[in-house]
Chain A
Amino acid sequence: MSPILFWIFTALMLAFGISVVLNRDPVASALSLVASFLCLSALFVGLDAFFIGVIQILVYAGAVMVLFLFIIMLLDLKAEKRRHFNRLTLVGGGAVAAGFVFELLHVLNSFSMGKNPFPPLGVARLDDVRQVGITLFTQFNLPFQTVGVLVLVASVGVIVLSRRELK
C-alpha cells in the first residue's frame, strides 16, 4: 500500500472514530461508524486481505449498521440533552485512555521486529479467497461449524428476547 493512501485512510478512520464518540446524536454516531469501517476496509485491502475487506463492508457497513439505525429509529431516540456533567468520569476515562496510548507508544518503541518494512509477496497473483477457504475448511473446520451453532443460538435468543412478554 502506498504510504500516502495509508495516512489518508488512517486519518479518516481515526477522525470518524472520534466523531462516533463526540456526536450527541445517535444517528450521526452510527453514520460516522459506517464511514470509519469503510476506511478500515480500505486498510485491509491495502494489506492484501481482499476477502476480509469485502466481508467488513458487507457485514459491518451493511448488516450491522442497518440493525443499529433500525433500532435507533425504532426507539425514536433524540439527541442527548446536555445533562449534569460528571467531571470524575471525564477525568477518569480520559486518564485511562491516555495511559493506554502512552503504554502503547512505550511498547511499540521497544518492539524491534515491528520496525521492519513489510516483506514483498512471494506470488505474482494472490488467490486470497481460495486460501482463506482452504484454511477455514481444512484446519478450522470444527470451529467453523461451532460458529454456525453460535449464530443459530443467537438468532433463537433474539427472537425469545423480542417477544412481547418475557416469561
Chain B
Amino acid sequence: MNPLTLNHYLLASGLLFSIGFAGVLLRRNIITIFMCLELMLNAANLSLVAFSRFHIGADGLPNYNAQVLVFFIITVAAAEVAVGLAIIVALYRARQTTHVEDLVSLKF
C-alpha cells in the first residue's frame, strides 16, 4: 500500500468540512445545524494537525504552533457551544420550536 501523504489528510479534512457544510445548508433543525458547525470546526483542526506533523523542525519535533492553535480552537468552540445552546434554549422558551423556518422574524 502507498505511504500516506499530506494530501490524504487534507482530502479527509476537506470531505468532513463539506459534509458539515452540506448539513448546515440542508438541515432545518437548529440543533442539528449546530452539530454540523462542530463538524466543520473539527475538519479544520484535522488539517492543522496534519500540517503540524508534516513540518518537522530542526530539532526533529513537529511544529507545535499549529497544535496550540488547535487547542485555542477547541477552547473557543466549547465556549461557543455553551453560549449557542443557551440561546437555543431561550429561543425555545419564547417560541416552542427549533425549526429554522418557523423563526423568520428578528424581533418578537
Residues of A within 8 A of B (CB): 1, 3-4, 6, 10, 13-14, 17-18, 20-21, 26, 29-30, 33, 36-37, 40, 43-44, 47-49, 51-52, 55-56, 59-60, 63-64, 67-68, 71-72, 74-75, 77, 80, 83, 89-90, 92-94, 96-97, 100-101, 104-105, 108, 111, 113-123, 126, 131-132, 134-136, 139-140, 143, 147, 150-151, 154-155, 157-158, 161-162, 166
Main secondary structure of the interface of A (DSSP, over half): helix
Expressed in whole angstroms, the Cα–Cα distance for A105 and B31 within the complex equals 30
Evaluate contact between A29 and B35: CB separation under 8 angstroms: yes
The smallest C-beta distance from A130 to any residue of chain B, in angstroms, reads: 10
Closest B residue to A53 by CB, please name it: B49
Q: List 18 A-B contacts (CB under 8 A).
A: A3-B1, A14-B15, A17-B16, A21-B19, A43-B49, A59-B78, A68-B85, A74-B89, A75-B98, A83-B28, A83-B101, A100-B18, A101-B18, A118-B6, A123-B59, A131-B61, A132-B64, A147-B72
The smallest C-beta distance from B108 to any residue of chain A, in angstroms, reads: 12
Set of chain A residues within 8 Å of B81, measured between Cβ atoms = 64, 67-68
Interface size class of B (residues with CB under 8 A): 35 or more
Set of chain A residues within 8 Å of B83, measured between Cβ atoms = 154, 157-158, 161
Shortest Cβ-Cβ A-B pairs, 6 listed: A122-B60, A93-B25, A97-B22, A154-B79, A21-B23, A114-B7
The smallest C-beta distance from B52 to any residue of chain A, in angstroms, reads: 7
The smallest C-beta distance from B25 to any residue of chain A, in angstroms, reads: 3
Expressed in whole angstroms, the Cα–Cα distance for A10 and B56 within the complex equals 23
